[in-house]
Structure 1
Amino acid sequence: MCIFKFLWQLSGECPEGTIPITRNQKARNFKRYAKKKHKSFSQLDDPSTHEHAVAYVQNNVYFGAKATINVWQPQVQTSGEFSLAQIWVLAGANSFLNSVEAGWMVSPSLYGDNNTRLFTFWTRDGYQSVGCYNLFCPGFVQTNTTIALGATISPVSTYHGAQYDIILCIFKDPKQNVWWLQYGNDGVIGYWPASIFTSLADSASLIQWGGEVVNTAQGGQHTTTQMGSGHFAEEQAGAASYFRNLQVVDQSNTLVPPGDITSAAPKPNCYDIILAKNDDAGDFFFYGGPGRNPNCP
């Protein structure tokens, strides 16, 4: 397991009774930037703007998900685009879609820079108006005083060099009726009260892991925004980005293998995914890509 240091952590922990909140000097209009404007891939996503390479399981009852997520710093073409790697825990459909999400992202419009940052997101109306990133609106309740949402993650992986990853787990607490977010072995970061949801108030019906980019390129050309490492899944270890040790939380509140996993990459010449499994990494996959290239003009 790799140990990460968040850059803000160098100045120490927060005083007792307080939590760390990152300050953004450039993206001041949080209400404008703090909302997604799309649906999950499996819920009528618009492929003209949001593109994915994901693995997913569905048609069952889930109470959470876990993964070890390889961390990179992909290049983002414009300030209106982002690139992320995350876990989705979802229920419902269309305007009734509920989701809790967590992972890392590069988003110049949200954070004012191109750093790789830890983030969370939630929605209960299919990404229309209710929900937001991190602590930009009421919803997620932070309890951890040493891990800041929106904090820069350092170091990141390098092509055919050192590889770094983080472990994230989202799980339902039936006694307290909340969805917890746990980071590695450092304990929980905080929770989403189940009471803020409709379809996700009890359990999830769909789990997704993978990458997402926004493509706002004009003039008929695809964006050059990278997903993951910016290299295709076929390059595999040390070159392509990965998720490993995929697990779901079952009805007995136990982490178990996900079962039959399906993959989806609607534009495989731009971003793709390869599923695999072995004793060391469990259920895992490589994914990603460079965006625009001779086969993805």
Structure 2
Amino acid sequence: MGSSNNLVLLILFVLAISLTLVAEASQGHRETPSEEEKKDLKRQLRAINKPALKSFKTKQGIIYDCIDIHKQLAFDHHLLKNHSVQLKPTVLPEWITYKNISQKVSPLQLLQKGISCPDGTVIVKRTTMQDLMHAERLKSVGFNSSNRLPAGHHYATADYKRTSVSGVKGSINIWDVQVAQDQVSMATMAVAGGPVEQLASISVGWMASQVNPWLYGDHVHLYTYWTGDGYRRTGCYDVRCPGFVQVSKRIPLGVLIQKVSIYGGIQYQMDLVLHQDHATGDWWFIFGGENVGYWPASLFSPGGVANRANYASWGGQVYSPLTEASPVMGSGHFPDEGFGKAAFINGIQIIDGSGTALIPQIYTIKTHETSPTCYKAKYIHDDEEPWIRAIFYGGPGGCIGQ
């Protein structure tokens, strides 16, 4: 595929994961639903929130439920009616290890003390009426696939394009980014594949958002996103729709991340993996060495990521309405400030088609910046640890009308 087609693939990938952001901004704040709409939302809630064996409410007012692993929302998907839960991948790749120069956030640090689900259950954030109102707004917005970036969307990434990618890894630096209403700032690692008109993608990372006061309304959260067709009909964030099969009882999608980096001080990172099981084709999400869950291969077409991906990306993205200055990305500082001041993703690795973990060759990774006056990306490719392959990225924002 030529360089122009590579750019089209990159742009459509960004379009797919940013659709919900553009949709929300274009709709504005919806008025309070009518009584009939409320009744319909309540019916949907009864279908989505499965009976809990145990529940917890955090200090932030978030409710987590312990759901029977075999009765979770994923199995409402028509393609997963007869799906057998896989508790772990059949084979785990042996990733290359690096020296640790910052503090790692472990699964045990994600939830406050006292939250513990029993065996045979998974932990899930309870869906609220506000969550459903947000989903309804997305359905009401049309979207035309094109080869232009959505207005107000900016990114600074390191991208890898090859014919066969079956896994990616990265240690994502965590920052408590403050954003205004209708803005988003995120750090992401992703895979994508398929024809440009039917792009499939999976991304994971952290997100700070005020696009909707009910979507990650407090500080920084772990997030996931998937789509099988460029978000035309499939996919969602976290578990806001059937599809992702949760297996962890300790790591809920959308969980608040409370260990964050300090400018010029202690740095926190989280080790994330997206790995395709060669035996089943399922895409596993692994946090800090623990299996969180997976997207079954049946959710994706053979031309998408069901039979490997062909694109991987690491870096930052932001969104803001055109009339407002764009928010900070990463730490809010440019890459040249270096470790402890600029945001980074370290330990970049890929799994090739044979299932072997590789440090990408220098020439295979390219950086992309849509608004270099506000955000930059710097690819690090030293020969010695700890920065063998990494990206520093981010910036103070302030772009208006782009």
Q: TM-score, normalised by structure 2?
A: 0.67
Amino acid at match of 2:222: L
Q: 2:259 aligns with which of 155, 167, 189?
A: 155
1:19 aligns with 2:19: no
Moved more, 2-11 or 127-136: 2-11
Q: 2:294 aligns with which of 156, 173, 191?
A: 191
Q: Which residue in 2 is equivalent to 1:226?
A: 328
The structure with higher relative contact order (CA 8 Å, sep 6+) is: 1
Q: Which residue in 1 is equivalent to 2:239?
A: 135
- Listed one character per residue, the Cα deviations across residues 51-92 of structure 1 (whole Å, up to 9, x for unaligned) are 1100011032110100010000112122x2211111110002
1:119 aligns with 2:223: yes
Q: Which residue in 1 is equivalent to 2:272?
A: 168
Once residues 255 and 156 of structure 1 are traced to their aligned partners in structure 2, the CA distance between those partners, rounded to angstroms, is 29
Alignment of 1:4-153 (within 5 A): 4=106, 5-23=108-126, 27-29=130-132, 30-32=134-136, 44=147, 46-78=149-181, 80-108=182-210, 109=212, 111-153=215-257
- The answer to whether the 8 A contact 1:120-1:133 is kept is yes
- The answer to whether the 8 A contact 2:208-2:216 is kept is no
Q: Which residue in 2 is equivalent to 1:290?
A: 396
Once residues 90 and 179 of structure 1 are traced to their aligned partners in structure 2, the CA distance between those partners, rounded to angstroms, is 12
Q: Report the secondary structure of 2:322's partner residue.
A: coil
Q: CA deviation at 1:176?
A: 2.2
Q: Specify whether residues 101 and 124 from structure 1 end up closer, same or farther in structure 2 by C-alpha distance, changes over 3 A only.
A: same
Q: Specify whether residues 154 and 32 from structure 1 end up closer, same or farther in structure 2 by C-alpha distance, changes over 3 A only.
A: same
Once residues 39 and 84 of structure 1 are traced to their aligned partners in structure 2, the CA distance between those partners, rounded to angstroms, is 24
Once residues 396 and 271 of structure 2 are traced to their aligned partners in structure 1, the CA distance between those partners, rounded to angstroms, is 25
Once residues 34 and 133 of structure 1 are traced to their aligned partners in structure 2, the CA distance between those partners, rounded to angstroms, is 12
- The answer to whether the 8 A contact 1:67-1:245 is kept is yes
Q: Report the secondary structure of 1:239's partner residue.
A: coil
Once residues 213 and 32 of structure 1 are traced to their aligned partners in structure 2, the CA distance between those partners, rounded to angstroms, is 23
Amino acid at match of 2:358: V
Q: Using the aligned pairs only, state the percent identity.
A: 34
Once residues 33 and 192 of structure 1 are traced to their aligned partners in structure 2, the CA distance between those partners, rounded to angstroms, is 25
Q: Specify whether residues 112 and 189 from structure 1 end up closer, same or farther in structure 2 by C-alpha distance, changes over 3 A only.
A: closer
Amino acid at match of 1:246: I
- Listed one character per residue, the Cα deviations across residues 180-209 of structure 1 (whole Å, up to 9, x for unaligned) are 111112x21000011111211101010011
- The answer to whether the 8 A contact 1:34-1:136 is kept is no
- The answer to whether the 8 A contact 2:192-2:201 is kept is yes
- Listed one character per residue, the Cα deviations across residues 231-255 of structure 1 (whole Å, up to 9, x for unaligned) are 1111111111001110001112121
Where do 5+ consecutive residues of structure 2 fail to align? 1-99
Q: CA RMSD in A?
A: 2.6
Q: Which residue in 2 is equivalent to 1:242?
A: 344
Point out the structure with the larger strand share: 1
Which has the higher Rg, Structure 1 or Structure 2?
2
Once residues 293 and 269 of structure 2 are traced to their aligned partners in structure 1, the CA distance between those partners, rounded to angstroms, is 20
Q: CA deviation at 1:175?
A: 1.0
Q: How many residues align?
A: 289
Q: 2:317 aligns with which of 198, 212, 235?
A: 212
- Listed one character per residue, the Cα deviations across residues 207-264 of structure 1 (whole Å, up to 9, x for unaligned) are 011111112131xx532x1111111111111111001110001112121112221000
Q: CA deviation at 1:11?
A: 2.1
- The answer to whether the 8 A contact 1:34-1:133 is kept is no
Amino acid at match of 2:318: V
Where do 5+ consecutive residues of structure 1 fail to align? none
- The answer to whether the 8 A contact 1:38-1:45 is kept is no
Q: CA deviation at 1:157?
A: 0.4
Q: CA deviation at 1:104?
A: 0.7
Amino acid at match of 1:233: P
Q: Which residue in 1 is equivalent to 2:358?
A: 256
Q: Which residue in 2 is equivalent to 1:276?
A: 380
Q: CA deviation at 1:114?
A: 3.1
- Listed one character per residue, the Cα deviations across residues 15-44 of structure 1 (whole Å, up to 9, x for unaligned) are 22221122466843252478999899xx93
